[in-house]
Amino acid sequence: MAVGYQGLPKLHPVGGVRLGTTAAGIKKPGRPDLVLIELARGATASAVFTRNAFCAAPVILAREHLSAREPSYLLVNTGNANAGTGRQGLVDAQTCCEAVASRGGCEAADVLPFSTGVIGEPLPVATLTQGIPAAFSALVAEGWANAADGILTTDTVPKGSSRQVEIGGRPVTITGISKGAGMIRPDMATMLAFIATDAVVERDVLDGLLKRAAGLSFNRISVDGDTSTNDACVLMATGASGVKPEPGSDDFETLETAVTAVCRELAQLIVRDGEGATKFIAIKVVKGRDQKECTDVAYTIAHSPLVKTAFFASDPNWGRILAAVGRAGVPDLNLQAVTIHLNEVCIVSDGGRAADYEEARGQLVMDQEEITIRVDLSRGSAEATVWTCDFSYDYVRINAEYRT
Amino acid sequence: MAVGYQGLPKLHPVGGVRLGTTAAGIKKPGRPDLVLIELARGATASAVFTRNAFCAAPVILAREHLSAREPSYLLVNTGNANAGTGRQGLVDAQTCCEAVASRGGCEAADVLPFSTGVIGEPLPVATLTQGIPAAFSALVAEGWANAADGILTTDTVPKGSSRQVEIGGRPVTITGISKGAGMIRPDMATMLAFIATDAVVERDVLDGLLKRAAGLSFNRISVDGDTSTNDACVLMATGASGVKPEPGSDDFETLETAVTAVCRELAQLIVRDGEGATKFIAIKVVKGRDQKECTDVAYTIAHSPLVKTAFFASDPNWGRILAAVGRAGVPDLNLQAVTIHLNEVCIVSDGGRAADYEEARGQLVMDQEEITIRVDLSRGSAEATVWTCDFSYDYVRINAEYRT
């Protein structure tokens, strides 16, 4: 069970968005595996994709389609990533877009395809396209929770987040769903997130908003440091509320804060459901010279198998955290000035173990399920937070036994 | 037991080097934990140290002493890393150097200190220095095997390598020992290697030789991607053979090849004895544009927990290797041209699974204990090889239970 999981919250419908989920038979019979998202005319959409050079066929096609126009439909299948499938993979993804377009009365370029599941198997195009009529029939505004189920692979829980804020005296909704359990499992290629708002946001403004929100959420999590061939995050703005916050205004700030909060919650849910995770760890690096050195330090800690196994063992092994900070490549770091805290307990100061540190106090923190590591570099005003989980026997089991 | 370990080979004495090993009581009573290496007058020495900013007190002092003059003694203790010990750690390391100097009739600056073991505990200076007379009494030219035992921490086997080559018709010896089981365990801070030759090599030439040899050996291994606070590798040239190969000559090439071979063998022994290792994996990246992109790709594969757990499971999971190549950050990589082999079996070509690949053939390779991954980037003439091991339940157990 995911660390600190509270169940799926109420997911408010977003005007201009309908979702249809069906069991097309790509996975086990009866298991939802195909999700169709319909956007009303006039909606804008923005997406960020994996930086993996071996990106999957649907990523290539979705990026291409999105560059030309605003989408009418998003088609998401689980059970097969259509990755490592070469040229045939592109043909298959295009065929699926055409099937949606012919049923939906639009062009194939108006459809964005997304796939998640096993790498390297041919996409079962016939099975998938046979499910499309049922997905159309299932389209409803209240379809978010079903869709949250329909995009899962080996996740143990569905992931959703929803906010309603008031902008200029009128309600605006932001709702999103995500999936992913290894930060990326290339063989269950992996993180997907779909977020919609009924605010009016033009495409170039939406691009900037998504980039910033993802930078503070999906790009700040790590389960195992791997990066999928299929990662994608889509932000859609339908405009159905009629509310158009001007970029730079307080109203826009309200929207951006809410979108970022939804993204952060969806991202943290992926870490909480991390493979084999028993702890949820926030790594906060403060007083760095710039963002880059803060994230370098945070990720070096987050990716260290030694730190992660120590957390699994609830072992307040401050030496491993100190060594990770030391090898993060921060130039001219004044070690005497660096302090490291586990929650409120100072574990490192003056270049070594804090003088007043007692193991029993560190142990009290480590015994908790949610822990914050705070590294103070004491040389600037930048800061960054990264979320990760521990490294357990179950991580090895899940990833060693996945295909056997 | 270390993967493919053949036992300690015959370690030829090196003229001008004597080694004394004793049980000072830093570790369990009766367990060898203190090694003294004596260098004859006229010897030169070169060292490479950890790049971890939080480097240990003995690393700081050894670097300082070596910059001023040629050493007469190296003092190595296990059981305590004298790392994360702040200013007192420097005082303690200096006290140990002084104790050796007063017994050996030299100055403290002629002594290089090395420590390995638990981080963050004060160095037990009294216990350590009481052992120094016994270490002096034990000094013998045949002391290499005992020293190989004396520098171990949680290694499961002693590590040594020895070569004799003929240069200008005269025999030259190169002998070395190493320790380390996690690439670095910051809490058992970690890799040490001491190599000596009786060739005559001037300091600046020796510096270049060690840098190149370490670049092809100790800097090409990874167990878990962590980097210790205490890593050090020392190359000593006593000149006792009277053979002085001129830099640039064929004779020097003979010496360099032998030194590099000894370093590579010592480095590989560390991987073979990697924590929880059940497989020894060579990752060879060829036809890259430059060294950097070759090592970037090799290390991305070597550090991927997903790849490492697949090797533990003997699972020919080519998708994970492909995804690791894809996220290594190689600019403008032509995916269609990349090929990946497991030993002689082609698993990836034309941007996906090789057309003629059969799982059974991949399985035959994966069932072996020693495996080579060969990645052909098909865009240049650079290449690099990195050695690593798999990621097992025992890695988690060893690192989760280490202090509990």
CA distance A116 to B215: 40
> Distances in Å between the alpha carbon of B176 and those of B13, B42, B269?
10, 19, 12
pLDDT at A184: 47
Average pLDDT over residues B222-245: 85
pLDDT at A404: 39
Average pLDDT over residues B49-55: 85
Query: Is A44 known to sit in a ligand binding site?
Result: no
Mean pLDDT of chain B: 91
Which percentage of chain B shows pLDDT scores above 90? 68
The tens digit of pLDDT for each residue in B158-171 reads: 999 999 999 989 99
- Which is the catalytic residue, given A21, A22, A78, A190? A190
Helix/strand/coil for B224:
coil
Of B52, B53, B319, the CB nearest to A186: B319
Mean pLDDT of chain A: 91
Task: Name the closest residue on chain B to residue A82, using Cα atoms.
Answer: B352
Q: Which of A121, A226, A230, A349 is the best residue to mutate to test the B interface, defined by the most B CB atoms within 10 Å of its own CB?
A: A226
Contact at CB, A396 and B401, closer than 8 angstroms: no
**Smallest Cα distance from B81 to chain A, Å:** 11
Contact at CB, A320 and B228, closer than 8 angstroms: no
What strand order describes the sheet that includes A188-189? A17-22, A34-39, A73-78, A111-118, A188-189
Query: Is B295 known to sit in a ligand binding site?
Result: no
A173 pLDDT band, cuts 50/70/90, is very high
Query: Is B107 known to sit in a ligand binding site?
Result: no
**Of the segments A37-51, B124-138, B389-403, which one has the largest average pLDDT value?**
B124-138
Contact at CB, B53 and A396, closer than 8 angstroms: no
The tens digit of pLDDT for each residue in A92-144 reads: 999 999 999 999 999 999 999 999 988 888 999 999 999 999 999 999 999 99
Contact at CB, A225 and B304, closer than 8 angstroms: yes
CA distance B388 to B279: 8
A398 pLDDT band, cuts 50/70/90, is confident
pLDDT at B185: 45
Burial A113-129 (b: 16+ CB within 10 A, else e): bbbbbbbbbebbbebbb
CA dihedral sign, ordered A237, A242, A243, A244: positive
Nearest CA-CA partner of B387 in B270, B234, B255, B247? B270
Q: What ipTM describes this predicted complex?
A: 0.72
Q: Of 3.10.20.340, 3.40.50.620, 3.50.50.60, 3.20.20.80, which CATH number belongs to B280-401?
A: 3.10.20.340
Q: Is the pLDDT of residue A285 over 90?
A: yes
| B315 contact residues in A (CB cutoff 8 A) | 400, 402-404
pLDDT at A224: 66
Strand-pairing partners, residue A212, are none
Q: Is the pLDDT of residue B192 over 80?
A: yes
Contact at CB, A84 and B120, closer than 8 angstroms: no
Query: Is B202 known to sit in a ligand binding site?
Result: no
Residue B211 is classified by DSSP as H
Of A185, A304, A326, the CB nearest to B306: A185
Query: Is B197 known to sit in a ligand binding site?
Result: no
The tens digit of pLDDT for each residue in B170-187 reads: 999 999 999 987 654 445
Query: Is A77 known to sit in a ligand binding site?
Result: no
The tens digit of pLDDT for each residue in B105-148 reads: 999 999 999 999 888 889 999 999 999 999 999 999 999 999 99
Q: Which of B51, B54, B340 is the best residue to mutate to test the A interface, defined by the most A CB atoms within 10 Å of its own CB?
A: B54
Q: Is the pLDDT of residue A402 over 70?
A: no
Catalytic residue check, A154? no
Average pLDDT over residues A241-249: 94
Q: Is the pLDDT of residue A62 over 80?
A: yes
Lowest mean pLDDT among A147-161, A215-229, A286-300, B86-100: A215-229
CA distance A224 to A235: 25
A343 pLDDT band, cuts 50/70/90, is very high
Contact at CB, A352 and B86, closer than 8 angstroms: yes
**Smallest Cα distance from A404 to chain B, Å:** 8
Domain positions in chain B are 17-272, 280-401
What residue type is assigned to position A112 of the chain?
L
Task: Name the closest residue on chain B to residue A184, using Cα atoms.
Answer: B306
| B353 contact residues in A (CB cutoff 8 A) | 84, 120
For A17-272, which CATH class? alpha beta
What residues have CB less than 8 Å from A275, skipping those under 6 apart?
A: A154, A181, A182, A185, A223, A224, A394, A395, A398, A399
Contact at CB, B324 and A186, closer than 8 angstroms: yes
What residue type is assigned to position A142 of the chain?
E
| A366 contact residues in B (CB cutoff 8 A) | none
The tens digit of pLDDT for each residue in A196-229 reads: 999 999 999 999 999 999 988 888 887 666 667 7
What strand order describes the sheet that includes B339-342? B221-222, B382-389, B280-288, B370-376, B339-342, B345-349, B352-353
Cβ burial of A152 (10 Å; 0-12, 13-18, 19+) is: buried
